[in-house]
Amino acid sequence: MTGRSKKTEQAQQWFEALRDRICAAFEAIEHEAGSDARFNYTPWSREEQGNDNPGGGTRGLMKGHVFEKVGVNVSTVHGNFAPDFAASINGASAENPGFTATGISLVAHMANPHVPAVHMNTRFLVTGKAWFGGGADLNPPIPYAEDTEQFHARLRAACAAHNPTYYERFSKWAEEYFYIPHRGVHRGVGGIFYDHLECPDEAAFERNFAFTRDVGEAFLDAFPAIVRRRMNAEWSQADKREQLEWRGRYAEFNLVYDRGTLFGLKTGGNVDAILMSLPPEAAWD
């Protein structure tokens, strides 16, 4: 089942279109703040011994007045997992290590401590099986109940349009996944996380692809509105210190526990694109 296919191309085209719309929305916010910041796009190519077309991607990065650092990446790669890593991937094995993966990954760290950071990614993988995964979660250094409810409400609506069990299942999954065991705290205020929505036939592909598209639409609808609500709030040095300490927790999770970081490093991805999730500044006591 591995190798570039029409389904992979469909998913890639959607992820690229979503990237363009998200980047335009974020640039519009910068413009409203009096900034001329824009995304810089850096293409990269993956390397794999014995594979003359392993794919690659584009790293989009912007540093502005509102978005202190935001990365929006799209990649489409294919090849073979290392045997020991293949055993940990759905549908792959040492005997069948081939894979194709395409996806969008976004992390935004904000200048104002009252504006929440955010993460979103959706992806389509093909091994011996094919499936969608992804999610989005809100990560405020200074939480506001109104923002949390708005973010969750929009994701809840996206889930409800496809399956009445999705939100309860996927929000609980996010709560369990975005947790830092060695600190005993959650990374943020949650969202949804899903994986292995398998596509054994055309109907399942269309169904799960439609849900994945709606997750992207929900993010694009909810997050810019939250940014505009908070981006002009006054903040103190105590607020900034709280933000920097919280960013330290975020970095710990991404470097120790995050599956996407591990997947990128294990498959020869672009290191700068993989680690764009790390904050520009952080602090530890």
- Annotated active-site positions, please? 119
What number of H helices and E strands is found in the chain? Answer: 8, 9
How many other CB atoms are found less than 10 A from the CB of residue 164? 9
136 close to 215: Cβ distance less than 8 angstroms: yes
d(CA 101, CA 249): 29
DSSP state of 116: P
52 close to 60: Cβ distance less than 8 angstroms: no
The two structure tokens encoding residue 244: 């920097």
The label of the residue with tokens 């810019």 reads 224
7 close to 198: Cβ distance less than 8 angstroms: no
